[in-house]
Each structure stands twice: as C-alpha cells, then as structure tokens.
Amino acid sequence: MKKLLTIIFIGLSTSLMAQEKVSFLIPPSSPEASFTQQLVNGEITIIYSRPLARGRKIFGGLVPLDSLWRTGASGATTINISEEIIIGEKLLKEGKYSLFTIPGEKEWTIIINADTTLHGSFGYSSSKDVLRFKIKSEKSDLFTEAFTISFIELTNKGSGFLALAWENTIVKIPLKSPVDDRVMAEINTRLIINKEQNTELYYQAANYYYTTGRDLKLAATWAAEAEKADKENFDYPNLLQKILADQKDYMAAIAAAKRAIVLGEKKKLTNAVTALKKRVAEWESK
C-alpha cells in the first residue's frame, strides 16, 4: 500500500512539474517592421522596431526632449540605400546607416550615423555621424499609437518625405534622387543651350517633360521634331497625342493619334490601336 501511495505521489509531482513549464506566447512590445521604397533607379530600405504609446506621454515623457533617441526601440534603426540620395538637402552616398534623432519642442535634429551594430543608442559616437541637420516638427490631429516610419508624398520626379510619426507628432524628412537634377541639366545643355538636333534626344526629352509635368508646350515641340525626323516611328506621334490632349488641344491631338493609328496598324500593335481609336472617338464627341 505504501509503495502504491509513493508511486501515486511521484506521478502527481511529475504532473505538477510538467504543468509549471507551460508558457504563453507573448506578443513583442515593440514589433519589428521594415519596408522598401523604390526611388528612380535605387531603393531605400528601413528596418526598425515600433514601440506603442499604451496611454503614456511620449515626447517630453517616455522620450525626453533634447536628448539622443534611437528613433524606435530595440536595435538601432537602419536605413539602407542602393543609390545615392539627397536627404535634408545633403547628399548621402549609397550604403547602410543608422538613424538617430534628437526630438525638440518644435524642431528635431536628424542624424545619419555610420555604425549600424548598436543596440539602441548605447555606444553611439558622434564621430561616426555622416550627416546631421534640423527639421521642423508638426502637430497632427491623427493620433499614431505605434511609432511609424513611412515614405509619403512620392512624386514622379523621384522625391518624397521620410515621415516619423508617433503620438500627435510628425516629422517629414525630405528625400529625393539626384537623377532628376542631372537629367534636367543634360536636357538644358544639349537641347536648349546647344540646340542639338538629335531625333531620339527630342523624343526622350519630350517624354521626360511629359511624365514629370514640366513645360508641355516645349515637350510638344520636341515630340513634333522627333516625328518630323522619323515619320515611321509609332512612338513619336503616340507621345505627341498624349501631350496635346493634356493641353486640351483636341484637334491637334486627334490628328497625331490618327497618324499613330496608321503606324500602329502596320506594326500590328492591336491593343495600342484599339486604345487610340477609343480616345479619338471620345475627343470627336466633345
């Protein structure tokens, strides 16, 4: 009997010990996030952790003002760029960096640092700063519970803002690719100053002006020059009809579209021809 009781006791003890090992999966207090944004030919990748407000006062409370902040939680927030960009009006070469900030009442200091191995701001050294500049902060009516980094207001010229949002504060850091400045400089030098006569250059410049919302009158002139030099190229009158339509010059757009239709039918561009005929019908009904 004693032996039986001993066996039962040991069994119960073993069962209780097994129960004590039970644990629940707890969601992270600052979940990790990442995103990649294409900017012209390059990409920007941000990896960071997202602490939650949870009813706490954030800036001037959990995050002290006028002090270095890791700009997130856990490990250092990193920014990886595959092609040089202009950030805060300063050129940043391709590479991987850490992002730190110094939040202020109305103005933040943005810091791009070369050390990406840090846990938060522990071990931070200003000697490894690559860029440092100031940005005005804004108050938002929208409350952001989880700290959020996002790319907003992307334009077709390869620019936008890297937005830092938490609580009712948002900071917009301007970013842009230097490609647009370079393309515009080349167009200006070759076509406007040197008046270079190059059919493909006319077309490419007209297309760039059209897609980036520049001077449509000048774009139409270049597209017309390209078509004049090569009357068998479908792309030239097709681009011209788009530019003219955006200027609401529908009569001229119809004429250019019909020239493109003829070329498109020769080359059996069925879908393009169908779309052009539909556009012509819509313009003729106006």
Same domain, 152 and 240: no
Write down the pLDDT at residue 4: 47
Same domain, 55 and 129: yes
Write down the pLDDT at residue 87: 96
Residue 128 included in any domain: yes
Residue 285: count other Cβ atoms within 10 Å of its Cβ.
6
Let me know: does 53 contact 169? Beta carbons within 8 Å. Answer: no
Sites in the chain below the pLDDT cut of 50: 4-5, 7-9, 16
Residue 26 included in any domain: no
| Number of domains observed in the structure of the chain | 2
Domain hosting residue 105, numbered range: 32-176
Same domain, 254 and 124: no
Same domain, 166 and 185: no
Last residue of a domain, one of 127, 159, 176: 176
Same domain, 138 and 187: no
Same domain, 38 and 172: yes
Residue 15 included in any domain: no
Residue 274 included in any domain: yes
Same domain, 55 and 142: yes
Last residue of a domain, one of 176, 200, 224: 176
Same domain, 166 and 259: no
Which single residue is written with the structure tokens 């955006």?
246
Residue 49 included in any domain: yes
CATH of the domain at 196: 1.25.40.10
Of 100, 122, 95, 94, nearest to 113 by C-alpha is 100
Same domain, 44 and 152: yes
State residue 242 phi and psi, 5-degree precision: -65, -45
Residue-wise pLDDT tens digits, 21-42:
667 677 777 889 999 999 988 9
Let me know: does 84 contact 92? Beta carbons within 8 Å. Answer: yes
Same domain, 52 and 172: yes
Same domain, 168 and 209: no
Same domain, 224 and 257: yes
Q: pTM for this structure?
A: 0.80
Last residue of a domain, one of 159, 176, 193: 176
**Please, what's the b/e burial string for 133-149 (b: 16 or more CB within 10 A of its CB; e: otherwise)?**
eebebeeeeeebeebeb
Let me know: does 167 contact 156? Beta carbons within 8 Å. Answer: no
